[in-house]
Structure 1
C-alpha cells in the first residue's frame, strides 16, 4: 500500500497564511488609523485652535 504524495499543500498553506496576514494587518491598520489616530489628531487640533482663539481674543482686547 503506497502513500500518495503530498503536493502543493505547502504552497497553498503559504499563500493562505500570507493572505490572512496581509488582510488582518490591513484591517488592524485601518482600525488604528480611524479608531485612534484620527480622533486624537482632531482633539489635538481643536485644543490648539481654542488656545489660538483665546490668544487672538486677548491680543484684540489689549490693543483697544
Structure 2
C-alpha cells in the first residue's frame, strides 16, 4: 500500500525579501583553511581523490 499526497501548488510571493549571504564570513574562511591544511575535501573546490576514483571504470578488467 502506498500513500501519496494530492498535488499542491507552491505559492511564492514576488515581493518577499531575500536574505543576502555574508561575503567572506570569517568563520567559514577559517574552516576552509583548517580543512585544507588537514588535507580534507572542501565543498566547492576540486577534490583530486574524488576525481581519480570517479574517473575509474567500475569494472577494471573490462
TM-score normalized with structure 2 length: 0.27
Larger relative helix fraction: 1
